Amino acid sequence: MNKQVELQELGYKDYKDTWDYQETLFKGIVDTKIKNRREDANLETPNYFLFVEHPHVYTLGKSGDMSNLLIDEKQLAEKNAVFYKVNRGGDITYHGPGQIVGYPILDLDNFFTDIHKYLRFLEEMIILTLAEYGLKAERSPGETGVWLDVGTPFARKICAMGVRASRWVTMHGFALNVNADLGYFDNMIPCGIRGKAVTSLNVELGKKEVSITEVKDKLLKHFVNLFEAEMKFQEEKV
């Protein structure tokens, strides 16, 4: 089993371009697994972890309801935002500047073949990271992602999640609000759940800005521990 995970920092990148890139990596892993099965090739499958920040975009998952987007095409354009229907689970979500988006593209045969455990580990990675900032983050029964003040009238979501898995290969992932413009969440019903607020780490800490690099380092530390993985950095392309 290959427990090495290649970290790729994609920077500020268009959602559709990133989605296409994910699909390329995803297909490469799946094709290798198919070859192994058909030809008994015993080739090692790679794993990737992409960090990216997207321009303003709304995405709707396979089971999502289009009515959860509250603005039309003209209003999207006015807000410099775009919209895509995507092939992950979950309903509608928003990505934008000030948000850490992580896409683990893993062959779970290298780790464990349990998609529910995979989702719980991603949530735990976020929960442990936020605990380092003095925040008690939690799961909300029946709702994916990570929340604060669950079970109270002040419940608010700080991290959205939606994944796709096929042949135990994952794609898509999580979006953690760090310095996000929360006004963009007013244009949708977050994850299709009415009456729930959304928050960002900087708001919770009462800071203008939180170090994105610092948060990423904490996330990776907990990811490596939970998945018993070895992180390697993408080699510079010449």
- To the question of whether residue 162 is assigned a binding role by annotation, the answer is yes
- To the question of whether residue 92 is assigned a binding role by annotation, the answer is yes
- To the question of whether residue 77 is assigned a binding role by annotation, the answer is no
- To the question of whether residue 139 is assigned a binding role by annotation, the answer is no
Which listed residue (29, 122, 191, 220) is catalytic?
A: 191
- To the question of whether residue 103 is assigned a binding role by annotation, the answer is no
Contacts of the segment 118-124: beta carbons below 8 A, 24+ positions apart = 118/163, 118/165, 118/170, 119/144, 119/161, 119/163, 121/226, 121/227, 122/161, 122/163, 122/173, 122/174, 123/159, 123/161, 124/222, 124/226
- To the question of whether residue 45 is assigned a binding role by annotation, the answer is no
| Best CA proximity match to 100, nearest among 49, 138, 29, 134 | 49
- To the question of whether residue 56 is assigned a binding role by annotation, the answer is no
- To the question of whether residue 94 is assigned a binding role by annotation, the answer is yes
- To the question of whether residue 95 is assigned a binding role by annotation, the answer is yes
- To the question of whether residue 34 is assigned a binding role by annotation, the answer is no
* The residue count for the chain: 238
Please indicate whether residue 191 is annotated as part of the active site: yes
Residue 160: exposure state from Cβ atoms within 10 A (0-12, 13-18, ≥19): buried
Place of tokens 């700080």: 158
- To the question of whether residue 192 is assigned a binding role by annotation, the answer is no
Sign of the torsion angle spanned by Cα atoms 144, 148, 151, 152: negative
- To the question of whether residue 93 is assigned a binding role by annotation, the answer is yes
Sign of the torsion angle spanned by Cα atoms 91, 53, 8, 148: negative
Sign of the torsion angle spanned by Cα atoms 186, 187, 193, 198: negative
Q: Which two tokens stand for residue 85?
A: 């229907």
Q: Which two tokens stand for residue 24?
A: 């390329």
- To the question of whether residue 197 is assigned a binding role by annotation, the answer is no
- The values of phi and psi at residue 112, to 5°, are -165, 145
Catalytic positions: 191
What residues are designated binding site?
88-95, 160-162, 173-175
What residues are designated binding site for substrate?
88-95, 160-162, 173-175
